[in-house]
Structures are given as structure tokens and as C-alpha cells.
Amino acid sequence: CSINPVVSIRYYYELRSLPCIEDILAIHPTLPARIHRPYLHKGGRAWTRGQYILEHYRFVQNLPEKYSKFLFPQKSVSLVQFIGKDGENFDI
């Protein structure tokens, strides 16, 4: 944030303008810091990484309503359940 304060502030304002930002932050609480992670886009600038993140969430929010319950679940979603070799229950 201190390296690119203007970029960070612009990104945070745009992030807050997303309609489902509260749901997104509940699932990904570290999302605001992601533009400062260079491994997300090698050689890219913080502003470019921010735009990619924002475009992704705008795309997801524009998908048909039937997908939103999977992308922004209000509770835990179990994808698969199985029993391990020692009788341990696994829930993913």
C-alpha cells in the first residue's frame, strides 16, 4: 500500500463499488491486499493486477443468478464426503 498509495486507494474505491463486496470479503478477506502480490501476474503493475481482479468479480457477478449460490455461498458447501482408510470422515 505504501509503495503505490494512489493505485491502492483507487483499487479500494473500485472494490467497494462492487455490488456483492460484503459477500466477497466474507469469503476472501485478504482480497484488498492482492494487488500487491506480484506472483499473481509476473511483471505486471499493481494497477493492472487490480483491474484483473475487479474484472474477474464483475464477470462473476454478471453470470446468471443460478450460479451465484455456488460462487457466493451463504453457508458452507460440501462438494464431496468420504471415509478414509482408518474410518476418518472427510468433507471437502
Give pLDDT tens digits for 21-36. Answer: 887 888 778 877 777 6
Q: 11-15, 31-35, 41-45, 86-90: which range is least confident on average?
A: 41-45
Give me the domain span that covers residue 20: 5-91
Q: How many domains are there within the chain? A: 1
More confident residue, 88 or 72: 88
Beta-sheet strands, E only, within the chain = 81-83, 89-91
CA distances from 26 to 43, 44, 45, 74, 91 (A): 29, 27, 26, 9, 21
| Residue whose C-alpha cell is 501476474 | 41
Q: Average pLDDT, whole number, for the chain?
A: 79
Q: What pTM was computed for the model?
A: 0.60
Q: Compute the distance between CA of residue 56 and CA of residue 13 in angstroms, rounded to an integer.
A: 16
Torsion region of 8: left, alpha or beta (phi above 0 gives left; psi -120 to 50 gives alpha) = alpha
